[in-house]
């Protein structure tokens, strides 16, 4: 049989009384409570800052991957993903189909822009020097948003009669080319013939990934199409207003394409960005380990403080048990006291974490280039409700978990011994 | 005619404490306490007074023998039931007041009442608390915290805390040992008043002659054995061994 409503109210009222007593107890030794709260606040703030910096780095990597290389979504002719290595030009999207597919994709609400790409392995000759490279044929002005232009301009054009290209920094150094130099690009065409074209160095870019910058060249789409002698595109890059909408947009585009009879394959930026996934996995694990260490330190600290409280109040606790308080109630009182300390520690940690994050973001933290990257950067603290609430909740739960330990001591508390008069 | 069940019965109770050497705190104590009695226990240090009170309050269990409260054997009741019994039926007064320092005098008294009678409304509780504080002449101190009280005042609040739930049995362990003469006098007369007006059964371990004088029965303990008991009429005729 369940409790009556009246009994429930009484129980609730009694618990509220305990919550108040627990709160008052935390004020008995202010210095000790401040110490405990500070311990938890520092841990919480450290977790918030660390998690915020890592989130910022993740965000930067994600944006580099999306806007510098992959787009949010890539669309291909069906069969391309399985066969492009064997026969790269057999699965191109013809230009007329690209135009239709582009219109379809643009009708999806999340889509911001659509562009096309045709990558071609080439040889570059200039002033007696030669290098192999990968020419990325792109529609002008769409896929260049996060490319850092080291020299020259960011636009691709062939308005001057001789097409302009952007050269990766490492490749430019290897070929010793400067702005305005002319290079000859040679590629094997789809019909096995060799095609060549002269281009002008219009800019030097640095994408940030050494492998990419050492081997890449960005050219107008028409240049790479000319080099391989095709009138199609290898992949259609779709940019969205929100990375989180990628899967939804993929479904919408696939549904529309199917309804119009297009047979397409697709891949998201997340599937293509292997390096990003590896970094996420590595830092994510590191963050979890740091969280465990910080919370373990907080746990031991709080247990030590509760042990001091327990030893100081044994006589008082014995008196409470004597008055008829049950050991369970007394244990709950300790948990409530730990809960208040945890709450105060979490709130103080959130406030100090947010203030430090704000200050850090204003000042910025100079960071060296990440592994495989050529660019140093200034880190900031990227915060989201989850990045703040998770460390705060963990701190609160750690304090609660620590305050369960005294229930073991309470269970063993000898009432009579602790109430024994000094003599008698 | 049905005989009234005694409030407390000790039947050949002994209590030993194990250790490097076994301590026989009480040996073969048989004792009956009727409702409304005021019994004082006296004896030298280590004679077993506190152990006897602890046994009466269900804080420890006898090594041999049995203890009944209102006809129920305490050793057959579970830990929780005994705790509930202490909350409702038994009041404790200690050598020091053991008040909760962060609560006011009235809140300390109220806390004990909540444990004993959670079914009372806030207004009902207020009535009980004020009555207990009035009875111990501490109503004016109801908003004071223990740190602001003198030893005697704190002990009177502790008595109010024990009394507020109207216990059938009040156990006091050397309640005046930390107090000066004036306060001892006050506490002594307070016990007399409480016994007269509230008819609470009192079991008091004390050396204080002012309290001993008021007892309806005196028990003498020595080395864990009951060496005698004295009734008020014969009190002057016998000396304790």
The percent of chain B in helix, strand and coil, each rounded to the nearest 5, is: 40, 25, 35
Q: Do A323 and B95 touch (CB under 8 A)?
A: no
One domain, residues A258 and A280:
no
* C-beta of residue B95 within 8 angstroms of C-beta of residue A421: yes
CA distance B118 to chain A (A): 6
* C-beta of residue A246 within 8 angstroms of C-beta of residue A268: yes
- Count: domains in chain B: 1
Q: Do B98 and A416 touch (CB under 8 A)?
A: no
Taking CB atoms and an 8 Å cutoff, what residues of chain B touch A27? 102
What would the mean pLDDT of A129-154 be, rounded to a whole number?
77
CA distance B84 to chain A (A): 6
What would the mean pLDDT of A218-227 be, rounded to a whole number?
91
Q: Which of A207, A238, A262 is the last residue of a domain?
A: A262
Find the CB nearest B60 among A13, A17, A416.
A416
> A224 lies in a domain?
yes
- Count: domains in chain A: 2
Three-state SS for B111? helix
> B128 lies in a domain?
yes
Closest-CA residue of B relative to A316 is B98
> A98 lies in a domain?
yes
| ipTM at complex level | 0.83
Taking CB atoms and an 8 Å cutoff, what residues of chain B touch A326? 80, 83
Q: Do B174 and A28 touch (CB under 8 A)?
A: no
Is this model's pTM higher than 0.95 or not?
no
Query: Residue A375 pLDDT > 90, yes or no?
Result: no
pLDDT digits (tens, 9 = 90+) for A294-317: 889 888 988 888 888 888 888 888
Enumerate residues 176 to 235 of chain B having a beta carbon within 8 A of any beta carbon in chain A.
Answer: 177, 205
One domain, residues A297 and A225:
no
Residue B30, domain CATH: 3.40.50.300
One domain, residues A104 and A235:
yes
> A270 lies in a domain?
no
Q: How far apart are CA A66 and CA A60, in angstroms?
A: 10
Biggest alpha carbon–alpha carbon distance for chain B: 54
Distance of CA B220 to the CA centre of its chain: 17
State the average pLDDT for chain B: 85
* C-beta of residue A323 within 8 angstroms of C-beta of residue A387: no
Q: Which of A419, A422, A423 to mutate to test the interface with B (most CBs of B within 10 A)?
A: A419
pLDDT at residue A5, rounded to an integer: 53
pLDDT at residue B70, rounded to an integer: 86
Q: Which domain holds residue B202?
A: 8-237
Strands of the sheet containing B217-222, edge to edge, are B90-93, B169-173, B201-205, B38-42, B217-222, B225-230
> B3 lies in a domain?
no
* C-beta of residue A92 within 8 angstroms of C-beta of residue A233: yes
pLDDT at residue A4, rounded to an integer: 58
Find the CB nearest A27 among B59, B60, B102.
B102
> B203 lies in a domain?
yes
Q: How far apart are CA B48 and CA B33, in angstroms?
A: 17
What would the mean pLDDT of A323-336 be, rounded to a whole number?
87
Q: Which residues of A touch B (CB under 8 A)?
A: 6, 10-11, 13-14, 17, 21, 24-25, 27-28, 315-316, 319-327, 415-416, 419-424
Residues 6 or more apart whose Cβ sits within 8 Å of residue A200: A160, A162, A163, A164, A165, A180, A181, A182, A183
Three-state SS for A290? helix
Find the CB nearest B87 among A24, A323, A423.
A323
> A68 lies in a domain?
no
One domain, residues A195 and A106:
yes
pLDDT at residue A1, rounded to an integer: 44
Confidence of residue B237 (pLDDT cuts 50, 70, 90): very low
What are residue B94's phi and psi, to 5 degrees? Answer: -105, 175
Q: Which domain holds residue A168?
A: 79-262
Q: How far apart are CA B119 and CA B125, in angstroms?
A: 10
Taking CB atoms and an 8 Å cutoff, what residues of chain A touch B111? 17, 21, 323
* C-beta of residue A269 within 8 angstroms of C-beta of residue A239: no
Neighbours of A127 (CB within 10 A): 11
């Amino acid at each position: 049989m369940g409790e009556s409503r009246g009994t429930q109210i009484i129980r609730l009222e009694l618990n509220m009384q305990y919550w108040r007593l627990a709160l008052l107890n935390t004020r008995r030794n202010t210095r000790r409570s401040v110490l405990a709260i500070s311990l938890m606040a520092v841990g919480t703030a450290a977790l918030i800052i660390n998690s915020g910096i890592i989130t910022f780095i993740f965000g930067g990597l994600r944006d580099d991957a999306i806007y510098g290389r992959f787009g949010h979504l890539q669309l291909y002719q069906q069969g391309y993903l399985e066969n492009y290595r064997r026969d790269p030009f057999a699965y191109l999207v013809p230009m007329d189909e690209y135009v239709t597919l582009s219109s379809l994709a643009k009708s999806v609400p999340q889509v911001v822009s659509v562009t096309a790409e045709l990558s071609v392995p080439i040889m570059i000759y200039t002033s007696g020097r030669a290098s192999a490279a990968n020419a990325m044929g792109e529609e002008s002005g769409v896929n260049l948003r996060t490319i850092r232009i080291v020299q020259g301009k960011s636009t691709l054009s062939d308005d001057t009669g001789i097409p302009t290209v952007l050269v990766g920094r490492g490749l430019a150094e290897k070929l010793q080319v400067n702005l305005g130099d002319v290079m000859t690009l040679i590629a094997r065409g789809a019909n096995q013939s060799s095609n060549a074209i002269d281009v002008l160095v219009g800019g030097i870019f640095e994408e940030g990934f050494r492998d990419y910058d050492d081997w890449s060249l960005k050219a107008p789409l028409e240049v790479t199409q000319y080099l391989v002698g095709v009138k199609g595109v290898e992949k259609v890059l779709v940019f969205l207003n929100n990375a989180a909408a990628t899967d939804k947009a993929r479904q919408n585009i696939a549904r529309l394409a199917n309804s119009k009879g297009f047979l397409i394959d697709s891949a998201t930026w997340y599937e293509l960005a292997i390096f990003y996934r590896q970094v996420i996995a590595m830092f994510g694990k590191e963050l979890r380990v740091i969280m465990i260490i910080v919370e373990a330190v907080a746990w031991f600290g709080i247990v030590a403080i509760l042990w001091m409280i327990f030893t100081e109040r044994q006589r008082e606790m014995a008196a409470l048990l004597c008055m008829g308080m049950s050991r369970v109630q007394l244990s709950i009182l300790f948990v409530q006291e730990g809960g208040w300390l945890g709450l105060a520690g979490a709130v103080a940690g959130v406030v100090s974490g947010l203030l430090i994050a704000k200050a850090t973001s204003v000042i910025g933290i100079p960071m060296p280039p990440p592994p495989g990257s050529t660019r140093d950067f200034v880190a900031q603290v990227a915060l989201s409700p989850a990045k703040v609430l998770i460390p705060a909740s963990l701190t609160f739960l750690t304090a609660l978990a620590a305050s369960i330990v005294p229930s073991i001591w309470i269970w063993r508390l000898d009432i009579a011994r602790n109430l024994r008069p000094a003599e008698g | 005619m049905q005989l009234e069940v005694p409030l407390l019965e000790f039947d050949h109770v002994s209590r030993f404490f194990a250790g490097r050497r076994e301590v026989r705190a009480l040996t073969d104590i048989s004792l009956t306490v009727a409702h409304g009695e005021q019994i004082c226990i006296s004896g030298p240090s280590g004679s077993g007074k506190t152990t006897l009170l602890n046994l009466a309050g269900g804080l420890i269990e006898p090594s041999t023998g049995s203890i009944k409260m209102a006809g129920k054997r305490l050793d057959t009741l579970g830990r929780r039931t005994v705790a509930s019994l202490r909350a409702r039926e038994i009041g404790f007064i200690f050598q020091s007041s053991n008040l909760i320092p962060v609560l006011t005098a009235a809140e300390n008294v109220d806390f004990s009442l909540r444990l004993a009678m959670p079914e009372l409304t806030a207004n009902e509780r207020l009535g009980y608390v004020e009555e207990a504080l009035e009875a111990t002449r501490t109503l004016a101190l109801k908003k004071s915290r223990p740190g602001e009280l003198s030893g005697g005042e704190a002990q009177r609040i502790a008595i109010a805390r024990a009394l507020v739930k109207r216990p059938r049995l009040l156990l006091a362990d050397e309640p005046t040992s930390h107090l000066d003469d004036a306060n001892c006098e006050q506490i002594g007369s307070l016990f007399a008043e409480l016994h007269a007006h509230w008819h609470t059964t009192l079991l008091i371990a004390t050396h204080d002659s002012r309290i001993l004088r008021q007892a309806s029965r005196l028990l003498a303990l020595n080395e864990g054995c009951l060496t005698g008991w004295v009734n008020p009429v014969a009190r002057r005729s016998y000396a304790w061994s």
